[in-house]
């Protein structure tokens, strides 16, 4: 059944809109990390074709429950928006953190512009990118769970759709009639559909297991190079662009190794810091399958300065899925240190000769052969 809501989700035409990204820093963070987080939010905005015309961060010691910022700061931004002629339907204000529905509503009233916070921005991207049936179902589930949580805390009857897909579509598309009861009903339907799809995939998975073909899964931060490596190993051409969350739908293919012979390989959605829990929940069944593989390959982009933080973020998402790799209960995982063609010698040296770590460039092909040998050796050791 296609609901009016789904139409709004998936058939919204996006037009180029201006965005200003602001990052109220609540924690005590290192300047580099703050700047990286701010840039990452800008990249997220650009991933849905927003034109970021200004970005800034500021320290916020005590967030105001009503308007997030104190009066002075609110007025400062009012002036700044005026200077940028930032107003009307083609302007979107983005917060690099999550804000409460009340803060959002009050700030929207003051600035008279639409606001997206971090979760709604990520939901917007996911809504734009999910193409497969199961992908769409999972994204709709995440979005409805988010709507529901906002309903509880903010108002008792949905008056307007806030954030998520369809939000950028223009004023006519912002009305939403689903109340909490209907949301719950739809959530139930979606969960049922996810379960059904999961069962089908389990049968396919078991068939592969019967044939004793091992499965490896690529995991990692968004933009790390998973799809590029997937293409390099399988000689396929799945989309690999310099865009956050380019892959949403899990792809499976196979490649050949000298000892193991055939191996299946999964490419899946990338992770990000503070990946909204409701998205992890919604994608849980897909991710569960991916992480059930015989071997996990953690693809890391070491050309960027905060690659260690990204590693922590990835391990944290895995923890949310109850996966602690390389433990007795957890799956084996190797690290693939990618983008060595554009990384500095110091970073490369740090990873050289580390156990179960492979330095590669998925783009140029450097190190791919020794990675294949390494995967082959590990998979073969499981079968003997
Ligand atoms: N220089 C260089 N660029 C690379 C390398 N591997 C991937 N890239 C580039 O990095 C960008 C992201 O690559 P993807 O393969 O789409 O990354 P991903 O991990 O699949 O990203 P998501 O699907 O968004 O999670 C693309 O522009 C690739 O061309 C590499 O080894 N060297
Ligand atoms: Mg990808």
- Whether the pLDDT of residue 45 is over 50: the answer is yes
* 247-305 confidence digits (pLDDT tens): 888 889 999 999 999 999 999 889 988 788 888 888 887 788 788 899 999 999 999 99
How many whole angstroms separate alpha carbon 161 and alpha carbon 203?
A: 38
Question: Ligand 1 centroid vs 239 CA: distance in angstroms?
Answer: 10
Q: Of the residues 265, 297, 337, 362, which should be mutated to test ligand 1's pocket, given the most ligand atoms within 8 Å of the CB? A: 362
Percent of the chain at pLDDT above 70? Answer: 88
Q: Which atom of ligand 1 is nearest to the CA of 230?
A: 15
Q: Of the residues 228, 297, 299, which should be mutated to test ligand 1's pocket, given the most ligand atoms within 8 Å of the CB? A: 228
Q: How many helices (H) and strands (E) does the chain have?
A: 13, 10
How many whole angstroms separate alpha carbon 211 and alpha carbon 230?
A: 22
Question: Ligand 1 centroid vs 164 CA: distance in angstroms?
Answer: 26
- Which of 34, 40, 35, 69 has the alpha carbon at shortest distance from 52? 40
4-173 and 212-383 agree in CATH topology:
yes
Q: Of the residues 46, 221, 233, 240, which should be mutated to test ligand 1's pocket, given the most ligand atoms within 8 Å of the CB? A: 240
Categorize the per-residue pLDDT at 172 as very low, low, confident or very high, splitting at 50, 70 and 90.
Answer: very low
Q: Which atom of ligand 1 is nearest to the CA of 218?
A: 19
How does the average pLDDT of the chain come out, rounded? 85
Structure tokens at 380: 């073969």
Categorize the per-residue pLDDT at 135 as very low, low, confident or very high, splitting at 50, 70 and 90.
Answer: confident
Pairing label, strands 17-25, 50-59: parallel
Question: Ligand 2 centroid vs 217 CA: distance in angstroms?
Answer: 12
Q: Poorest-confidence range of 40-49, 50-59, 124-133, 214-223?
A: 124-133
Angle subtended by helix axes 368-383 and 226-234, to nearest 10: 80
Question: Ligand 1 centroid vs 242 CA: distance in angstroms?
Answer: 6
CATH of 4-173, one of 3.20.20.210, 3.40.50.620, 3.30.420.40, 3.40.50.11060: 3.40.50.11060
Residue 357 sits at φ, ψ, to 5 deg, of -130, 130
Question: Ligand 1 centroid vs 66 CA: distance in angstroms?
Answer: 41
pLDDT of residue 15: 55
* Length of the chain counted residue by residue: 384
Q: Which atom of ligand 1 is nearest to the CA of 271?
A: 25
Question: Ligand 2 centroid vs 227 CA: distance in angstroms?
Answer: 4
pLDDT of residue 384: 65
Residues forming beta bridges with residue 334, ordered by sequence position: 297
Q: What is the number of the ligand closest to the CA of 299?
A: 1
Question: Ligand 1 centroid vs 55 CA: distance in angstroms?
Answer: 25
Residues framing ligand 1 (Cβ under 6 A) = 220, 222-228, 240-242, 244-247, 270, 338-339, 341-342, 361-363
Q: Using H for helix, E for strand and C for coil, what is the string for 128-169?
A: HHCCCHHHHHHHHHHHHHHHHHHHHHCCCCCCCCCCCCCHHH
| CATH no., domain 212-383 | 3.40.50.300
Given a contact cutoff of 8 angstroms between Cβ atoms, the answer to whether 271 and 221 are in contact is yes
Categorize the per-residue pLDDT at 151 as very low, low, confident or very high, splitting at 50, 70 and 90.
Answer: low
* 297-333 confidence digits (pLDDT tens): 999 999 999 999 999 999 999 998 889 999 988 899 9
Categorize the per-residue pLDDT at 240 as very low, low, confident or very high, splitting at 50, 70 and 90.
Answer: confident
Categorize the per-residue pLDDT at 179 as very low, low, confident or very high, splitting at 50, 70 and 90.
Answer: low
Q: What is the number of the ligand closest to the CA of 228?
A: 1
DSSP annotation of 20 reads E
How many whole angstroms separate alpha carbon 277 and alpha carbon 146?
A: 10
How many whole angstroms separate alpha carbon 244 and alpha carbon 224?
A: 9
- Within a 10 A sphere around the Cβ of 347, how many other Cβ atoms? 17
- 244: enclosing H helix or E strand: none
Domain ranges of the chain: 4-173, 212-383
- Whether the pLDDT of residue 367 is over 80: the answer is yes
- Which of 173, 169, 142 has the alpha carbon at shortest distance from 282? 142
pLDDT of residue 239: 83
């Amino acid at each position: 059944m296609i609901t009016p809501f789904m139409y709004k989700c998936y058939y919204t035409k996006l037009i180029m809109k201006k965005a200003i990204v602001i990052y109220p820093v609540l924690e005590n963070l290192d300047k580099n990390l703050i700047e990286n987080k701010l840039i990452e939010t800008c990249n997220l905005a650009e991933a849905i074709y927003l034109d970021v015309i200004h970005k800034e961060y500021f320290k916020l010691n005590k967030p105001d429950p009503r308007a997030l910022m104190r009066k002075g700061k609110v007025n400062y931004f009012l002036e700044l928006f005026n200077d940028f002629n930032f107003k009307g339907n083609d302007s979107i204000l983005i917060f690099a953190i999550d804000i409460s529905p009340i803060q959002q509503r009050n700030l929207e009233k003051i600035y008279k512009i639409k606001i997206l916070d971090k979760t709604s921005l990520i939901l917007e991207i996911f809504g734009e990118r999910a193409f497969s049936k199961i992908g769409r179902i999972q994204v709709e589930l995440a979005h409805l769970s988010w709507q529901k949580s906002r309903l509880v805390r903010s108002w008792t009857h949905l008056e307007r759709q806030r954030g998520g897909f369809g939000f950028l579509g223009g004023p006519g598309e912002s009305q939403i009639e689903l109340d909490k009861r209907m949301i719950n009903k739809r959530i139930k339907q979606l969960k049922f559909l996810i379960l059904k799809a999961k069962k089908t995939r389990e049968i396919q998975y078991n068939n592969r297991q019967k044939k004793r073909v091992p499965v490896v899964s690529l995991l990692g931060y968004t933009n790390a190079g998973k799809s590029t490596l997937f293409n390099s190993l399988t000689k396929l051409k799945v989309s690999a662009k310099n865009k956050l969350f380019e892959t949403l739908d899990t792809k499976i293919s196979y490649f050949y190794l000298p000892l193991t012979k055939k191996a299946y390989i999964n490419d899946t959605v990338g992770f990000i810091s503070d990946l909204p829990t409701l998205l992890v929940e919604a994608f849980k069944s897909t991710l569960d399958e991916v992480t059930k593989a015989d071997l996990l390959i953690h693809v890391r982009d070491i050309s960027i300065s905060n690659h260690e933080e990204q590693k922590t973020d990835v391990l944290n998402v895995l923890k949310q899925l109850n996966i602690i790799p390389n433990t007795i209960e957890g799956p084996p995982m190797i690290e693939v240190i990618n983008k060595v063609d554009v990384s500095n010698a110091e970073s490369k040296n740090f990873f050289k000769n580390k156990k179960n770590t492979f330095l590669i460039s998925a783009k140029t092909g450097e190190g791919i052969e020794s990675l294949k040998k390494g995967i082959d050796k590990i998979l073969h050791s499981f079968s003997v």
